[in-house]
Amino acid sequence: MRYFYITLFILFAAGCSEEKVPDTEAFKDEFTREFIKEGGETEDGYYTFESKTKGYTMLFPEHAKVSERDFESHEDKYETLSLGEKMKNQNTSYYIKLTYEKAPNISDIDVHLEQLTITSGYKGDFKREEFNNNIVYSARESNEQKGLFYYIAVIKAKDTDQIIRLTFDSSCSNGETECNVNPNELNQRLTNIVHSIQFK
């Protein structure tokens, strides 16, 4: 009888453990789960993402995934990754490319802005803003009819030699189905991520 109760307890405990695993794309993807900081959701619909360099954290959408193929990291000095999410209610997908660097004399913003203009083809001006001890230089373009939303930015820590270059672009997930793009929702998703970046 004692073994029966032990077996029953083990089965019950296993069932409880399974129930605790969130049913989100971020948690279901083994590689993405490596970046999720312990503590679960921090804001509705987001987890806390922690860089493998330990150099920064940010909010991470619960249904986004990090591409293992595109990931590269060198000690605590450099990291590049891409993440994406399919927003099924809008037939829209977005993709973020993020590069983190930590090095002395990295504060020459013009060099990083030039890199973004070369890789993106953007020729316009950048908007400058400050928040949470960060300085952000950004630009955006959108075409609601085609489901396109594009954003590029350089995020620089005010007090340390750390910087992030980021690009965000969206497109229709299925070309055969009409895109129901909500630019305000995409913009809010982007703003939540960028404004949540904290350098360590």
pLDDT digits (tens, 9 = 90+) for 10-31: 444 445 445 566 889 999 999 9
User: E-strand spans in the chain?
Assistant: 36-43, 46-50, 56-61, 65-66, 72-74, 78-87, 92-102, 127-131, 134-143, 148-157, 162-172, 198-199
pLDDT score for 93: 87
Q: Are strands 148-157 and 78-87 parallel, antiparallel or unpaired?
A: unpaired
Least confidently predicted of 130-144, 154-168, 171-185: 171-185
Q: What is the pLDDT of residues 85-110, one digit of tens each?
A: 988 777 788 999 999 999 887 778 88
Assign residue 92 the CATH number of its domain.
3.40.1000.10
- For residue 177, name the pLDDT band (cuts at 50, 70, 90): low
Whether 186 shows a pLDDT value over 80: the answer reads yes
The boundaries of the domain holding residue 92 are 2-199
State how many domains the chain has.
1
Q: What is the pLDDT of residues 150-176, one digit of tens each?
A: 899 999 999 999 999 999 988 776 666
Q: What is the pLDDT of residues 39-70, one digit of tens each?
A: 756 788 999 999 999 999 999 999 999 999 99
